[in-house]
C-alpha cells in the first residue's frame, strides 16, 4: 500500500515536470525567433511632397543568417526607386486588389551579429495628413524559419509619423483668395465696390476750360 501510494504520487510529479519542461522548450523555440529580429525604419518622420530616402535596418542577433526581407509599403507613399545592397536582389511588387505594394530583397545574407540596410526612395502626396504609417516586415532565414513583424504576428512592425500637411483649409483658401483679389484690384483698371466691378479710366481727368477774361 505505501509502495502503491508512493508510486502513484511520485508518478505524477515526473509528468508535471515533463509538461513544465515541454512548455519551456516551446517558449525557447518561439521567443528567440522574435528576439533575434531587430528591425527599425529610418527616418522616423516624413513630410509631404518631400523625396525621402527610407531605410529598413535589419539586425541579426541570432545564430542563423537572414536571407529574405519583405516590407509592405503604405499606399500613402509612392515608391520612386529601390536600392539593393551588394549581393542582394530587389524586386518591387505593385499593389493589387488583395495585397499592398511591397518590396522584396533576397539572395544575400545578414550574418549573425551583423546588420544590413535596405533602402528605397519614397514620396508622400501633398494631401497627406498627420498620422502613423505602419511597415509590416517578413524575415526568412537560411534554415527556413520566418518572423512576421505585424499585427497578429510575432512582433510589432516598424512605424513612421507623417509630420504635417501641405493642404489648405477652406478658411485659409478664402483668406488667400481675398488677399489676391485686393492685390489685383490695386493693379487692375477695375474698381471693386460692394461686389460690383466698375471700370476706372487710367487717363487723367480733363479740367474744365475757363473763358478768357475781356481786357
Residue 55 maps to a domain: yes
Residue 186 burial (CB < 10 Å; 0-12/13-18/19+)?
exposed
Q: Give dist(CA 139, CA 86) in Å, integer.
A: 18
Residue 3 maps to a domain: no
Residue 62 burial (CB < 10 Å; 0-12/13-18/19+)?
buried
Q: Domain limits at 49?
A: 34-162
Q: 24-38, 47-61, 93-107, 127-141: lowest mean pLDDT where?
A: 24-38
* pLDDT tens sequence across 145-162: 999 999 988 889 999 999
Q: Give dist(CA 140, CA 204) in Å, integer.
A: 83
Average pLDDT over residues 46-65: 95
Residue 175 maps to a domain: no
Give the pTM. Answer: 0.63
Residue 112 maps to a domain: yes
* Res 211 pLDDT > 60: no
Residue 100 maps to a domain: yes
Residue 130 maps to a domain: yes
Residue 126 maps to a domain: yes
Q: Give dist(CA 41, CA 156) in Å, integer.
A: 12
What is the domain count for the chain? 1
Q: What is the DSSP letter of 144?
A: S
Residue 131 maps to a domain: yes
What's the pLDDT score for residue 77?
97
CATH code, domain carrying 62: 2.60.40.2230
Say if residues 30 and 62 touch (Cβ distance below 8 Å): no
Amino acid at each position: 500500500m505505501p509502495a502503491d501510494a508512493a508510486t502513484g504520487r511520485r508518478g505524477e510529479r515526473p509528468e508535471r515536470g515533463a509538461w513544465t519542461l515541454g512548455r519551456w522548450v516551446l517558449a525557447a523555440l518561439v521567443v528567440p525567433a522574435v528576439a533575434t529580429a531587430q528591425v527599425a525604419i529610418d527616418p522616423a518622420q516624413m513630410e509631404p511632397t518631400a523625396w525621402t530616402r527610407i531605410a529598413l535596418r535589419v539586425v541579426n542577433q541570432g545564430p542563423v543568417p537572414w536571407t529574405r526581407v519583405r516590407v509592405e509599403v503604405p499606399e500613402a507613399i509612392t515608391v520612386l526607386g529601390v536600392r539593393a545592397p551588394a549581393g542582394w536582389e530587389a524586386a518591387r511588387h505593385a499593389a493589387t486588389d488583395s495585397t499592398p505594394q511591397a518590396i522584396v530583397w533576397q539572395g544575400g545574407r545578414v550574418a549573425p551579429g551583423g546588420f544590413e540596410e535596405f533602402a528605397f526612395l519614397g514620396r508622400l502626396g501633398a494631401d497627406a495628413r498627420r498620422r502613423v504609417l505602419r511597415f509590416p516586415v517578413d524575415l526568412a532565414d537560411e534554415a527556413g524559419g520566418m518572423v512576421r513583424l505585424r499585427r497578429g504576428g510575432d512582433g510589432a512592425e516598424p512605424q513612421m509619423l507623417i509630420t504635417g500637411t501641405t493642404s489648405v483649409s477652406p478658411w485659409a483658401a478664402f483668406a488667400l483668395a481675398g488677399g489676391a483679389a485686393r492685390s489685383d484690384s490695386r493693379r487692375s483698371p477695375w474698381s471693386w465696390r460692394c461686389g460690383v466691378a466698375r471700370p476706372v479710366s487710367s487717363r487723367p481727368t480733363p479740367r474744365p476750360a475757363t473763358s478768357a477774361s475781356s481786357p
